[in-house]
Amino acid sequence: MSIALVILAAGKGTRMNSDLPKVLHPIANAPMLVHAMQAGTALAPERVVVVAGHGFDAVQSAAEDFNEEVVVVEQKEQNGTAHAVEVCREALKDFGGDVIVLFGDTPFVRAETLKSMVAAKAENAVVVLGFEAADPGKYGRLLMSGDQLDRIVEFADASDEERAVTFCNSGVMLADRETLFSLIDDITPNNAQGEYYLTDVVGLARQRGLGVTAVACEESETLGINSRTHLAEAEAVFQARARQELMELGVTLQQPDTVMLSFDTVIGRDTTIEPNVYFGSGVTIESGTRIRAFSHLEGCHVSRGAVVGPYARLRPGAELSENVHVGNFVEIKNADVGEGTKVNHLSYIGDATLGAGTNIGAGTITCNYDGVMKHRTTIGDKVFIGSNTMFIAPVTVGNEAMTGSGSVITKDVPDAALAIARSEQQTKPGVARKLFEILKKKKQKRALENK
């Protein structure tokens, strides 16, 4: 049976105290909406519909950035969860499969959990996702009879006996499209909030004699985000889960709590990550590498056997080949670094191509920006770059060439050539002593004037 995802993302999120729509607040460098969409991709959905309201344009843009085929519909008035699903009717009118309803502010439902719901759907018309709550609070309660779910009662409408139930509703629901919208047609706002509750689908389905069940998941999967405190808790949940998964895949995290990962970080096994490393979005690290302490990586690719850091920064477009060494206080941006090349300290390599087996001396800078446009520096194989060399791009250095320390390279350097570009040294005997005496007298005079 084909699957359609409906993701409810229309809420303003007043408690976030923000101009940004709630579902666009980031967790691990991706909007929480994207996390919800990503979980659903494991079901290979035929269609994805996002319901947006507050900040519609921004939500639509974020959804389309993740999935260009997504359909974003607008819920202009917030009349409850059933109404939110109702506004998807037109977008799903020609869809004949099952619909799973997710929430943009509940980003941690696992793909395995969603697959369990799909499996339960084989023998039931409606499947609800529930969890055993340590502190049920004001969650809706799932009232079961054996393996069948009789109804969902919202906290505000529940009796004391019903409030004692700890099996709670996550809000996630699965039903075939025809059944889902048929049941929504029968929902009335007979509740304390005067809203159209999607949860009423369960009782209505049971009245029709349809099978309804609930699948249980871990409570952490259902974490809803309604405040900055919740956002911080969600970040901690994501990081703990992601670190654990990496270690299970064979990655060594020397001090796991200090490593920050992104939603799309990929790290191969037998890689060692030292303490206090930050991974921004778009980072892929191949197996057998070492990322040393206090390094910051984003939008880059690091190949096998490479060593990065400590205190290194890899920016978007940095591509490191195998066995590259990038050392302390080195920044690399939009640059390809060839196999075995070393950029060991205090250098900026931006908009550049470096060949294999090249050594970049300390303090080297590719001067790539002229104030208007970026220009590229190309350095060949087995090149030795002397310390404190400035490359005024665009410029090319041939294979097996060399630059003298302190050079400012403004012209291309042929293969095997030595380029030295610096002013001739002038030495003036005795002038240093005289200069110091003059400066000391000035300092003494200033001190007397300031008394």
Q: Which of 69, 33, 65 is nearest to 51 (CA)?
A: 33
Q: Which of 348, 331, 340, 324 is nearest to 381 (CA)?
A: 340
In angstroms, what CA-CA distances link 10 with 51, 84, 192, 230, 446?
Answer: 6, 8, 21, 18, 67
Residue type, 235: E
Q: Residues 6 or more apart from 67 whose CB is under 8 A from it? A: 37, 48
Half-sphere exposure of residue 260, counting CA atoms within 13 Å on the CB side?
16
CA distance 20 to 37: 19
Phi/psi at 258 (nearest 5 deg)? -100, -5
Write out the H or E segment, with its range, that includes residue 119. Answer: helix 111-121
Specify whether 345 is catalytic.
yes
Per the CB < 8 A criterion, the answer to whether 10 and 53 are in contact is yes
Phi/psi at 324 (nearest 5 deg)? -75, 145
Using DSSP, state whether 80 is helix, strand or coil: coil
CA distance 211 to 179: 12
C-beta contacts of 433-437 below 8 A and 24+ residues apart: none
Torsion of CA 155, 161, 167, 170, to 10 degrees: -10
DSSP state of 130: E
Mind telling me the catalytic residues? 345
